[in-house]
Amino acid sequence: MKGTHQKLVIVGAGLAGLTAAAYLSREGYAVQLIEKNQKCGGMLNSFTRDGYLFDAGARSIENSGIIRPMLKDLGIDLPLLNSPVSIGVGSEVLSITDEQDISRYMDLLKDLYPEDRTEIDSLYRVIRKIVKSMHTIYGFDNPVFTKDFTHDYPYLFKQLLPWFGKFILAVMHMNRMDEPIEGFLRKITNNESLVSIIDQHFFKSTPTFFALGYFYVYLDYIYPEGGTGMLTASLADLIREQGGEILTDTTITSVDAAQKTVTDSEQRVYSYDQLVWAADLKRLYAITDTAKLDQRIIEQIEHHRSAIEASRGGDSIFSLYLGVDLPNEYFFERSNGHLFYTPSSEGLRTTHTSELDELLENFESTSKEQVLQWLDRYCELNTYEISIPSLRDPHLSPDGKTGVIISLLFEYELIRKIEEARWYDEFKTEVEDRIIKILSDSLYEGLDDHIQLRFSSTPLSIERHFGSSEGGITGWTYERAVPVISDLKKIPRSVKTPFPDILQIGQWAYSPAGIPTAILTGWYAADAIIGDKQ
């Protein structure tokens, strides 16, 4: 297919769009990759401020049997650093570098909740089984990135086929454990603090296998030298080297499915033979003109549109970015460069569920003081994801100083209502102040006296900058029916849409989503296009 004249337009230059463009441009396709922002990468990106490098999206990257083989397959030489994780509650912080450390974490939970020692042992047995299945799914280099393996008989019969049998069993295990993590934990224990201290690490109603599978993911994290954004930057460089065209600062405002064109905000029109949609899926259905299509196709599109409009983006986050005049050593004494820390063992309990629901339902009659009282409890009892890039790569902060990223799950609807009430900036400052005080009084004593730089982003920031509905950072919410494929065995089919000659990829195309989903859907879309022409 080298030198093909088929014209491909890819909308969205996040990891999925970049992956598709990299493989298609390698095969000689005329690729136009269109991105609304000034730089590629989407939510896998890095930026600098006052000499500090911060990661805008993922704080680490799970290899998942995909990253390393993909880079090798594409010929990209990107140094990847180990990125060990720490987990802490109160004054105890543990480094999680092997499976034995998971046992130590269980022992910590037993110390905190001695009345639940038997229940914690039961939970640990479940986690060990899930970790074993996760190792099968992600611990083997994904064969889609292995060229011509059908003729490599030793690999085919001694490695791939034995693995594939185990893979099917692991996927069956995963599918059996798709109930929400909260409900699963309540079958093990009636201690709501213990339930919360575990489930508040995850999005609401996260499937149990996916949630507890993070104990394997923590052991699989890597960090590109130079920041997480180096992965997407390397892909963008490769696309240009292979003759692909990348258009940034270009927002697509309409799609004509019959004429097979897309139009941007400057009224420039781009024709395509195949369109790959790697952006927000709600937007595709909102801006696409289908009037001139066959009526049966229109009916299929409307059916999908209804399902998509009825769902919503998943949980979002509030992120605080700090530059402090404390050296890396100060932070390294306390944890690894990627930490999940909970100051209190009480757990959120109802603070993030019924109390928040009541607050949202009665927001019009709720005073600022009442909102801030809820915020006090929410910040005191929450779990924080803390990332320190320069503990992985010392060059990412000025000498003697450290950049720190602190995130917590945050409800999009609350932030939206607060903006409508016209105290958005004030509220951002209130959240920042509470995070700083809590961490200064616990893990990082006196931190508030060393801050030289501070700013934050909210779910609204994510929605506006990345074009992600409801600020969702992993696609669709688990609290409603998911309008896309969510069966791992069917992921190759997840790229199909009812629109003629339009494919969908990225975090909105398959659920549950993440970095592996972005890459695999991008690869499967490219493979479908290449395969159609062979």
pLDDT tens, 414-434?
999 999 999 999 999 999 999
Task: Give the integer Cα–Cα distance in Å for 119 and 106.
Answer: 11
pLDDT at position 282 is: 96
- State the amino acid at position 244 in one-letter form: G
pTM of this structure: 0.96
Which structure tokens are listed for 198?
């575990």
Which pLDDT belongs to residue 328? 97
Please give the pLDDT value at position 260: 97
Question: For residue 99, what are its two tokens?
Answer: 């499976």
297-309 pLDDT tens trace: 999 999 999 999 9
pLDDT of res. 153: 85
Percentage above 70 pLDDT, the chain: 99
Please name the residue ranges forming H helices in 242-343: 281-287, 295-310, 328-332
Backbone angles phi, psi at 501, to 5 degrees: 60, 30
Chain-centre distance for alpha carbon 219: 17
Taking 60 as the threshold, does the pLDDT of residue 137 lie above it? yes
What's the rounded mean pLDDT across residues 365-373?
Answer: 97
- Residue 154, burial from CB neighbour count under 10 angstroms (0-12, 13-18, 19+): exposed
Rounded Cα–Cα distance for residues 150 and 261 (Å): 38
Domains along the sequence of the chain with CATH:
7-36+250-312+477-532 (3.50.50.60), 98-218 (no CATH)
Q: 181: phi > 0 → left, psi -120 to 50 → alpha, else beta; which?
A: alpha
Compute the distance between CA of residue 441 and CA of residue 34 in angstroms, rounded to an integer: 46
* pLDDT classification of 2: cutoffs 50, 70, 90: very low
CB atoms inside a 10 Å sphere around CB 230: 20
pLDDT in tens, 160-189: 999 999 999 999 999 999 999 999 999 999
pLDDT band at 4 (very low <50, low <70, confident <90, very high): low
| 425: CB partners within 8 A, 6+ apart | none
Give dist(CA 374, CA 362) in Å, integer. 13
The residues that bridge with 52 in the sheet, in sequence order, are 49
pLDDT digits (tens, 9 = 90+) for 182-222: 999 999 999 999 999 999 999 999 999 999 999 999 999 99
Q: Is the pLDDT of residue 354 over 50?
A: yes
More confident residue, 496 or 534: 496
Q: Would you call 58 helix, strand, or coil by DSSP? A: coil
Q: Which candidate, 478, 532, 530, 484, places its Cα nearest to that of 504?
A: 484
pLDDT at position 1 is 40
* Mean per-residue pLDDT of the chain: 95
Q: Answer whether residue 148 shows pLDDT above 90.
A: no
